[in-house]
Amino acid sequence: MPFRFPGAPGAGRLGFWLLLLWSLARPGLAQTVGNCPLTVSGRVADHESRAALPGATILVLETQQATQTDVDGHYYLPLCAGTYRVQVSFVGYAPQTVELRLTGPAVVRDFRLYPDAVLLRGATVRGERVAAPTTQPTAALTGQALQQTRGQALGEALQKISGVTAIQTGPGIFKPMIHGLHSNRVTILNNGVRQEGQQWGVEHGPEIDPFIATRLTVVKGAASVRYGSDAIGGVVLVEPRPLRDSAGLGGELHLVGMSNNGLGAASGTVDGNLRRLPALSGRVQATFRKAGTMRAPGYYLKNSGFAEGNFSGALGWHKAGYGIEAFYSQFNTRIGILPAAHAGNQPDLLLAVGRERPLETSGFRYAIDRAYQQVRHDVGKLNGFVRTGSAGRLQLTLSQQTDYRDEYDKYRPRNDNRAARNQPELSYTNRTSTGELLWEHRPWHHFSGSFGLAGTYQANRYAAGSRQFIPFYTNQIAGAFLIEKWQQGRWLLEGGLRLDRRALAVRRGDRDTTGVFFVDRRRFRYTTPAASLGAAYDPSAHLTLGLNGGLTRRAPAANERFSDGVHNGMYELGNDLVPGNAPLTPETALNLGLTATWHSHPRFNGELTLYQNRITGFIYQVPLLPLVQTIRGSHISWQFLQTDATFRGLDLSSFYQLTPRWRLGLKGSVVRTRDTRADEWQILMPADRVEASWRYDWRDDGAAGRLSGRYAQLGGVAVARQTRV
């Protein structure tokens, strides 16, 4: 029976031939798509910055098969054996066509596209600035890796980065340590503002809300002159989301719960941009965290809860040739201190050291009693930029921050008036004003760089009636720096110079040998230079080798010279207050690092860093006997000393993609520190640490209403026993 289309003369014959062609074509089509076990995959990136190009099109000209890169610039195509011409294109870039010959089961081919000046002419592009490549060992927490740390303190979250550990003195107190260095040797920048407060104390965690950040970056070692000559250990960059540059209103909400101490955390962010006023953007953010008593095996740690409430806001006006942005944040926390940290006399202290569990325990509760810390930190920032024609970009940043810290002892003051008012035993206010003028010149003959001037004025005061643990002091800093990069082909060279001039003025009350009170005034002036030099080379599309070195000096801080008294169960004494001690001199650090990075591979990616940091005049604390007896109890005496020390170690970070859904991760860090004067191990250094993870990702089908980014992960951390003491 003939096949006919009704109402169309001769259509039956045409339909027959179409049906025949379709039946013959189907087996060939099935063979092209389903019976080709070979694959070609890789990554598409910008040739200069190496930034991924998501949404780039990969087209096989012979078969007309096409795909697009994902958010990380990766692509994947199944093909049969043979020779093909593959064309890669992206808006604003010159297309690239190559010939590929497929003989093995898999071919990896990366593409680096060049910007097309003709295509970009007359176009206006607004977006986020891509971080330039660097020769320094750098690691970051972003995306899902950062989401896994939500609800944790900043120092606790940074432990996810290899080479970074934390000094923990309570459930809510984590002090970040980079390659064995912490406190005054680690600089933290909160939205471009150098965090200043009472960071000298190991019991003082950073007063920063981690929820404000969409990226946490750690620059390891003293190879950078950009952030100050005293950043011997490294730099932590807390980077919020850029202000919205497209019309609309958006937001996000984080809810976190933890079982051990009943922690609950809620943080929300709302940002917007006006359609009728596209240059104006704004953002508000707020966080609340509260935790109760922490549980140890068999008992609760009494008075170990904490409460935290923070908020921030930003407002910006951005045009093509200029822009201005204002930012304000406030951090508030109350942290309970374990009462077992205080002992009334020497026998009680010795018994507490040998006891398996504290003498004072409790049930679970959210209330916080004495002793505790009450901290508030305010940051205000105003920055603007203007384009200096075709020469570059000029940027000015001004900031003001105030740190209020009150510390309450376990017992109320014996003075009836102070006891009735429940006043703190230690009450400090630290005010810091900073300014920076930065000029970035446009790329010229493969060179790019910047020149800047920076200044800081800081005043530290303690309240009337408060103990004089740290004296009154003012700190003035003026500096200038120059950074240049040269990049061509597979090579990147980077160098920097910085010079800071510092003036420290101290006023402290004291008594002479006859008991007469007087004010001891001292002034110190330092010149602290810094220099860095580094190189990076790409032997292949997946391997980058980096070598960097830095030489810098750090001036002694006020607490290292003049701390005096009991602080959180410890008795501390500054170097200059110990009879017979020579005055402290600046530390001089020589840092060398070698980094090998295997990147942009569909299966294995990782980084290995080897480093050495030699510090002449290293300032450290050491416990001394006998115990010190005060009206507040018996305490171990900690004094500041100076020696020469050498830090050596390695950092490892890697992951292996077993299948498209299964992934293995491995991180590790090792630090070895020697006191070269005494030829012995340096105390209070981190132990060896290894972290492993096993992750499973569910594929997203793109259906509306379905959850995206779903995964399950099992991980563990192993920390070796520290025997080098």
pLDDT tens-place string over residues 73-102: 888 888 887 888 899 999 888 888 888 877
Whether residue 4 is contained in a domain is answered as no
| Cα gap 635→469, rounded to integer Å | 15
Residues 6+ apart with CB under 8 A from 530: 222, 225, 229, 496, 497, 498, 499, 500, 550, 551, 552, 553
Q: Are 674 and 656 in contact (CB under 8 A)?
A: no
Whether residue 12 is contained in a domain is answered as no
pLDDT at 43: 87
| Cα gap 678→212, rounded to integer Å | 44
pLDDT at 708: 67
> What's phi and psi for 451, nearest 5 deg?
-135, 140
Helix, coil or strand: residue 223: coil
Please tell me whether residues 52 and 197 are part of one structural domain: no
Does residue 511 surpass a pLDDT of 60? yes
Residues 6+ apart with CB under 8 A from 389: none
| Burial of 712: CB neighbours in 10 Å, binned 0-12, 13-18, 19+ | exposed
The beta-strand segments (E) located in 409-542 are 426-444, 447-462, 472-488, 491-511, 517-537
Helix, coil or strand: residue 720: coil
Please tell me whether residues 173 and 248 are part of one structural domain: no
Starting at the edge strand found earlier in the chain, the sheet holding 138-142 runs 138-142, 215-220, 234-239, 186-190, 193-194
> What's phi and psi for 32, nearest 5 deg?
-65, -40
What mean pLDDT comes out for the span 271-281?
91
Q: From 123, 234, 188, select the one nearest 532 (Cα to Cα).
A: 234
| Cα gap 101→84, rounded to integer Å | 6
pLDDT at 456: 96
> What's phi and psi for 332, nearest 5 deg?
-135, 135
Whether residue 611 is contained in a domain is answered as yes
**DSSP state, residue 115:** B
| Residue 648 Cα to chain centre, angstroms | 22
**DSSP state, residue 583:** P
Helix (H) or strand (E) holding 29: helix 11-34
Structure tokens at 593: 């690092």
Please tell me whether residues 196 and 50 are part of one structural domain: no
Helix, coil or strand: residue 347: helix
Lowest mean pLDDT among 186-190, 359-363, 503-507, 586-590: 359-363
Global pTM reads 0.79
| Cα gap 235→161, rounded to integer Å | 13
Domain boundary among 203, 218, 233: 218
Whether residue 547 is contained in a domain is answered as yes
Higher per-residue pLDDT: 103 or 518: 518
Query: How many angstroms separate the Cα of 724 from the Cα of each of 170, 433, 680, 720?
Result: 24, 41, 9, 11
Please tell me whether residues 185 and 225 are part of one structural domain: no
Query: How many angstroms separate the Cα of 467 from the Cα of each of 28, 377, 427, 518, 603?
Result: 87, 21, 8, 16, 59
Q: Are 539 and 490 in contact (CB under 8 A)?
A: yes
| Cα gap 348→342, rounded to integer Å | 9
> What's phi and psi for 19, nearest 5 deg?
-65, -40
Q: Are 238 and 211 in contact (CB under 8 A)?
A: no
Q: From 497, 425, 599, 550, select the one nearest 226 (Cα to Cα).
A: 497
Does residue 424 surpass a pLDDT of 80? yes
CA atoms within 13 A on the CB side of 628: 20
Does residue 35 surpass a pLDDT of 70? no
Please tell me whether residues 406 and 485 are part of one structural domain: yes
What mean pLDDT comes out for the span 584-595?
95
Please tell me whether residues 569 and 524 are part of one structural domain: yes
Q: From 564, 686, 683, 585, select the one nearest 642 (Cα to Cα).
A: 585
290-334 tens-digit pLDDT:
999 999 898 999 999 999 999 999 999 999 889 999 999 999 999
Domain boundary among 218, 252, 273: 218
Q: From 215, 212, 214, 233, select the one nearest 223 (Cα to Cα).
A: 233
| Cα gap 15→7, rounded to integer Å | 13
Structure tokens at 81: 């054996």
Does residue 666 surpass a pLDDT of 50? yes
| Highest-pLDDT range among 15-24, 69-78, 193-202, 645-654 | 645-654
Structure tokens at 698: 């569910």
Whether residue 537 is contained in a domain is answered as yes
**DSSP state, residue 24:** H
Domain boundary among 120, 152, 182: 120
| Burial of 93: CB neighbours in 10 Å, binned 0-12, 13-18, 19+ | buried
- Residue position matching structure tokens 């003939």: 2
Amino acid symbol at 279: A
pLDDT at 78: 84
| Residue 246 Cα to chain centre, angstroms | 27
Please tell me whether residues 185 and 82 are part of one structural domain: no
Buried-state track 337-369, b at ≥16 Cβ within 10 A, e below 16: bbbbbbbeeeeebeebeeeeebeeebeeeeebe
CATH number of the domain enclosing 71: 2.60.40.1120
User: Length of the chain in residues, anyone?
Assistant: 725
What mean pLDDT comes out for the span 659-678?
94
134-173 tens-digit pLDDT:
778 889 998 889 999 999 999 999 999 999 999 988 888 8
> What's phi and psi for 346, nearest 5 deg?
-65, -45
CA dihedral 182, 187, 191, 193 (to 10 degrees): 130
Structure tokens at 446: 């493969």
Does residue 128 surpass a pLDDT of 70? no
Q: Are 211 and 154 in contact (CB under 8 A)?
A: no
Please tell me whether residues 599 and 613 are part of one structural domain: yes
Does residue 127 surpass a pLDDT of 50? no
Whether residue 724 is contained in a domain is answered as no
Please tell me whether residues 566 and 709 are part of one structural domain: yes
Neighbour count for residue 113 (Cβ, 10 Å): 19
Structure tokens at 629: 């007896």
> What's phi and psi for 354, nearest 5 deg?
-90, -5
The beta-strand segments (E) located in 364-425 are 372-387, 392-408
CA dihedral 579, 581, 584, 588 (to 10 degrees): -160
Q: From 634, 650, 631, select the one nearest 592 (Cα to Cα).
A: 650
CATH number of the domain enclosing 404: 2.40.170.20
Please tell me whether residues 240 and 142 are part of one structural domain: no
| Cα gap 288→260, rounded to integer Å | 18
Higher per-residue pLDDT: 717 or 50: 717
Does residue 211 surpass a pLDDT of 90? yes
pLDDT at 77: 84
pLDDT band at 506 (very low <50, low <70, confident <90, very high): very high
Please tell me whether residues 206 and 226 are part of one structural domain: no
Q: Are 471 and 508 in contact (CB under 8 A)?
A: yes
pLDDT at 519: 85
Whether residue 5 is contained in a domain is answered as no
Please tell me whether residues 417 and 466 are part of one structural domain: yes
The whole domain housing 197 covers 138-218
Structure tokens at 141: 């927490």
Lowest mean pLDDT among 252-261, 380-389, 421-430: 421-430
Q: How many domains does one find in the chain?
A: 3
Q: From 183, 177, 150, 172, select the one nearest 161 (Cα to Cα).
A: 177
